[in-house]
Structure 1
Amino acid sequence: MSSNLKFGAGIWHFATYVDRYATDGYGPKRSLLEMIDLAGQVDDLSVVDINYPFPGGNVSVAEVKAALTKNNLSVIGITPEIYTRQFSKGAFTNPDPAVRKLAEDLINEAADMVRELGAEYVKLWPGQDGWDYPFQVDHHELWHLSMAGLTNVAKQNPDLKFVVEYKPREPRNHMSYDSMTRTLLALEKINLPNIGVLLDFGHALYGGESPADSAQLAIDYGRLFGMDVNDNLRSWDDDMIAGSVHPIELMEFFYVLRKNNWHGVWQLDQFPFREDCVAAANSAISFLKHIDSALDRMDWDGLKEAQKQQDAVAAINIAREALFGLL
């Protein structure tokens, strides 16, 4: 049950952001190459997840490869932007077959980019798939379309892995893939070996899940292909610095991963609107390292015994002592 630390981040961590108030943005726009250069300044960061089409203006694959090499970075995933304005009524679930085909074509282009950049997977976040109002959709048809779209792209690219990142809501009020259980239900029905789940720690919190329980469930079904970490106040997908609000739950999450010998990238999905993006990434990675060392210090046998008895007091004391040096 040893650790195997490797850190990554979504390249959007190094972008600048807008919201419905600061419509002029929280800083000047950055090109993808500028984002990669900032990622290269983060201590111990080795991989990035990159949006497709490439953000921040026209840039060639050769330029991206050169920037990655210069910053000693590689690519873990390509995230096709199947959630933009043209997909505002859905990607897989769009009522227009022509738009569904556009989404499929974009995902296949992203798959080619995975091959070109030597990445591990295509990450699918179908954020516009779902509904907003009662009676708006035929739920049977919507669910069928959600699974059919995923099935099509996975079958067309059997040599690649696809990961589905679920989220309860936003931008849709109800998203098709809104929870670990619903996502696993779809993947079990589809029954293809190259589709898994990317568990976003914050999405699990936001959805009222225990991230540790969700991780164990995905592992038990052989579907945990990737994960993101961040933090929030549970009422929204705030994408704050990992460990800033829920350190004990973050520790339990990584305890479950280590217990199951799950080795993957500890990936940041943070949105530092007002913070220095390099400092925010370093802060998160530093705390993740602390969690890893706390797991080394933790009394695993004592915890196992406490869990056998479902002794909450003993269990939390063991976790606190390891993480904070407190009894």
Structure 2
Amino acid sequence: MPSKSPEFGAGLWHFASYVDRYATDGYAPPVSTLEQIARAGEVEDLSVVDVPYPFTEGVSVDDVAAALKENGLRAIGVTPEIYMRRFSKGAFTNPDPQVREQARAVLNEAADVVRVLGAKYLKVWPGQDGWDYPFQVDHHTQWELAVAGMRELALANPDIKIVIEYKPREPRNTMFWDSAAKTILGIQAMGVDNVGVLLDFGHALFGGESPAAAAQLLIDHGLLWAMDVNDNLRSWDDDMVVGTVHPVEVFEFFYTLKINGWEGVWQLDQFPFREDTVEAANLSIRFLKGIHRALDELDIDALRAAQARQDAMGAQKLVQDVLFSCLRTDS
């Protein structure tokens, strides 16, 4: 009997327009928060979105709530933008206590948005916390500020789940929260029960981790509370359409979630710079549906037996037989 179809989501930034250091005028005209929500509403089978905060100019939280309802969407998370220019030397780990206080204010405002929208979590991605050069920071001080800042946020918002999204680098040459293992250690040091992890598949790839192994480690510690999927060429966080480069590792990732009984939103974190954003989301969900069908058809007992023998070829054959046949079905 086929298992229940997963719920699909996307970061709202998937539907925005983008700039880089070459096309500094952008690849498309600016897209407001409300326009992003409308684009997300055009995607088949998309039901939830992660909403960046602050919203674009002139947009209120009530406007966002109304637009989500109008487009048949719900907010799963709120992502405060604590990685912009004013936090260029860090948010939690900034050497200026006034800037750290500004970061706390943004985070607590975003927590209120979580409450108003009825979202599942506040997502913390402190992209500017870290360093660029040897000797630039005192590593003990970095640890103390990062861990204490997250603890303070958690204690100030005990009714809200908070997830940390780790990443090895970018925008800093080294980010503080750079791996599954370090993030687990940091959360354990906080001594709170409302902080977990959002595992980004591409961040694990980019950081030299096995996404499946990272997921298992986080599950074993009770900390895998959310996840994002995408793909990349391993040398950078390319945020490409899921399954276009590493379909077998994507399958192993979702297999790991399945055998552990993990249930949550299958969420896209992609940046289709030059592609149609709605088409990119539809293609991604098409692939993820194939993954779901393949998981239903996979002979898990036979795979476990092959793994017990470390029979790489036997395991690969079982995986190939279901994965590539299921991807031919569009339903």
TM-score where L is the length of structure 1: 0.98
Q: Is the 8 A contact 1:232 1:239 kept in 2?
A: yes
- The alignment's C-alpha RMSD in Å is 1.1
Query: What is residue 94 of structure 1 aligned with on the other side?
Result: 94
Show the 5 A alignment for 1:190-229: 190-229=190-229
SS at match of 2:280: helix
CA-CA distance at 1:64 after TM superposition: 1.1
Q: Partners in 1 of 2:155 and 2:61 — Cα distance?
A: 26
Q: Is the 8 A contact 1:2 1:258 kept in 2?
A: no
Query: What is residue 14 of structure 1 aligned with on the other side?
Result: 15
CA-CA distance at 1:274 after TM superposition: 0.2
Matched, 1:121 2:121: yes
SS at match of 1:78: strand
Query: What is residue 37 of structure 1 aligned with on the other side?
Result: 38
Matched, 1:111 2:121: no
Q: Partners in 1 of 2:203 and 2:4 — Cα distance?
A: 24
Query: What is residue 295 of structure 1 aligned with on the other side?
Result: 295
Q: Partners in 2 of 1:91 and 1:325 — Cα distance?
A: 47
Q: Partners in 1 of 2:164 and 2:5 — Cα distance?
A: 24
| Residue identity in the other structure for 2:256 | V
Q: Partners in 2 of 1:203 and 1:61 — Cα distance?
A: 30
Deviation by residue 1:144-190 (Cα, 9 ceiling, x = unmatched):
11101100000110110000000000000011000111111101111
CA-CA distance at 1:4 after TM superposition: 4.6
Query: What is residue 329 of structure 2 aligned with on the other side?
Result: none
| Residue identity in the other structure for 1:42 | V
Query: What is residue 54 of structure 2 aligned with on the other side?
Result: 53
Q: Is the 8 A contact 1:4 1:263 kept in 2?
A: no
Q: Is the 8 A contact 1:3 1:258 kept in 2?
A: no
SS at match of 1:49: strand
Matched, 1:62 2:62: yes
Deviation by residue 1:38-78 (Cα, 9 ceiling, x = unmatched):
00000000000011101x32212221111111110000000
CA-CA distance at 1:310 after TM superposition: 1.1
Query: What is residue 313 of structure 1 aligned with on the other side?
Result: 313
List 4+ stretches of structure 1 deviating above 3 A: 1-4
Query: What is residue 286 of structure 1 aligned with on the other side?
Result: 286
| Residue identity in the other structure for 2:201 | F
Deviation by residue 1:108-163 (Cα, 9 ceiling, x = unmatched):
00000000000000000000000010111111011111101100000110110000
SS at match of 1:19: coil
Alignment: residue pair count: 325
| Residue identity in the other structure for 2:274 | R
SS at match of 2:13: helix
Query: What is residue 182 of structure 2 aligned with on the other side?
Result: 182
- Runs of 5+ consecutive residues of structure 2 not aligned to the other structure: 327-331
Q: Partners in 2 of 1:3 and 1:315 — Cα distance?
A: 25
Query: What is residue 79 of structure 1 aligned with on the other side?
Result: 79
- Runs of 5+ consecutive residues of structure 1 not aligned to the other structure: none
Q: Partners in 2 of 1:2 and 1:194 — Cα distance?
A: 30
Deviation by residue 1:200-245 (Cα, 9 ceiling, x = unmatched):
0000000000000000000000000100000000000000000000
Identical positions, percent: 63
CA-CA distance at 1:191 after TM superposition: 2.4
CA-CA distance at 1:2 after TM superposition: 4.2
CA-CA distance at 1:3 after TM superposition: 4.7
Q: Partners in 1 of 2:90 and 2:158 — Cα distance?
A: 24
Farther-moved stretch of structure 1 (316-325 vs 155-164): 316-325
Q: Partners in 2 of 1:188 and 1:259 — Cα distance?
A: 25
| Residue identity in the other structure for 1:92 | F
Q: Is the 8 A contact 1:2 1:261 kept in 2?
A: no
SS at match of 1:51: strand
Q: Partners in 2 of 1:261 and 1:23 — Cα distance?
A: 44
| Residue identity in the other structure for 1:73 | L
Query: What is residue 26 of structure 1 aligned with on the other side?
Result: 27
Q: Is the 8 A contact 1:147 1:190 kept in 2?
A: yes
Deviation by residue 1:81-125 (Cα, 9 ceiling, x = unmatched):
110001000000000111111111110000000000000000000
Q: Is the 8 A contact 1:40 1:71 kept in 2?
A: yes
SS at match of 1:154: helix
Q: Partners in 2 of 1:47 and 1:104 — Cα distance?
A: 26
Q: Is the 8 A contact 1:202 1:239 kept in 2?
A: yes
| Residue identity in the other structure for 2:30 | K
- Go from structure 1 to structure 2 and tell me whether the alpha carbon gap of 1:118 and 1:306 turns closer, same or farther (over 3 Å shift): same
Q: Is the 8 A contact 2:18 2:26 kept in 1?
A: yes
Q: Partners in 1 of 2:131 and 2:34 — Cα distance?
A: 36
Deviation by residue 1:291-327 (Cα, 9 ceiling, x = unmatched):
000011111110010011111111111111110149x
Query: What is residue 156 of structure 2 aligned with on the other side?
Result: 156
Deviation by residue 1:240-288 (Cα, 9 ceiling, x = unmatched):
0000000000000000001111000000000000000000000000000
